[in-house]
Amino acid sequence: MPKITYIKGTGIVIRGNDIDTDRVIPARYMKEVTFAGMGKYPFYDERFDESGNRKSHPFNDERFKGASVLVVNKNFGCGSSREHAPQALMRWGIKAIVGESFAEIFAGNCTMMGVPTITLPKEEIDELMDFIEENPSHEIDIDLGKKELLYAEDKASFSMKDSSRRAFLEGTWDSTRLLLEARKQIEAAAGTIPYLNGFL
């Protein structure tokens, strides 16, 4: 599992507080068997009308094509705990999300997918959003080791859940993969517990 210590990429902005997972990906697109095609659906109902025509939206804007750092406001990812929302963002190309705050389960799901969620105060988020919208081709640097975000001549110290940050730096962020790799040890331990013996 790779360590994730540094993310670099151009930014894209989604403004608004309390953007829930139903807005990130409408529930009707959860019927797919795998997550492989989820990258088509982020903010689908805000990007397309009922006839499939494109509407004005940052995820449709050619200026932000290839962006990998999403910048948001307060309580992003609230509502349903579905994993599909961060899956859709990741498969669209998002590698890190910077915001005022995040719903806890959403942030946890992002961590398990290798997408750091980091927080900055509202004033610094507003400045970063304005900068990205005015300079869409300018890259943003996120240093998880130093807890610093850099763009142009500006530097900001961000906050992040310690356990998530440590998991990225150590390369232990994918807990499902860790469990699968430790299957033999888990089976051996289960064999020593009477009520689990033969269960695995």
pLDDT value at 198 more than 90: no
Q: Which pLDDT value is given to residue 184? A: 59
pLDDT value at 192 more than 80: no
Angstrom distance (rounded) from CA 114 to CA 93: 12
Q: Which pLDDT value is given to residue 199? A: 57
Listed in sequence order, the DSSP H helices in 40-195 are 44-47, 84-92, 104-112, 122-134, 162-170, 175-181, 183-191
pLDDT digits (tens, 9 = 90+) for 117-142: 999 999 999 999 999 999 999 999 99
State in Å, rounded, how far the first CA of the chain is from the last one.
25
Question: Among all chains, which residue has been given the structure tokens 């998880």?
Answer: 144
For helices 162-170 and 104-112, angle between their N-to-C axes, nearest 10 degrees: 10
What are the strands of the beta sheet with 69-71, ordered from one edge? 117-119, 96-99, 69-71, 6-13, 139-143, 148-151, 154-157
Where along the chain do its domains lie? Answer: 6-172
pLDDT value at 103 more than 80: yes
Q: Which CATH architecture has domain 6-172?
A: Alpha-Beta Barrel (3.20)
* Contacts with 55 (C-beta within 8 Å, 6 or more apart), sequence order: 46, 47, 48, 49
Q: Which SS3 state, helix, strand or coil, does residue 145 take?
A: coil
Averaged confidence pLDDT in the chain: 89
Angstrom distance (rounded) from CA 184 to CA 50: 51
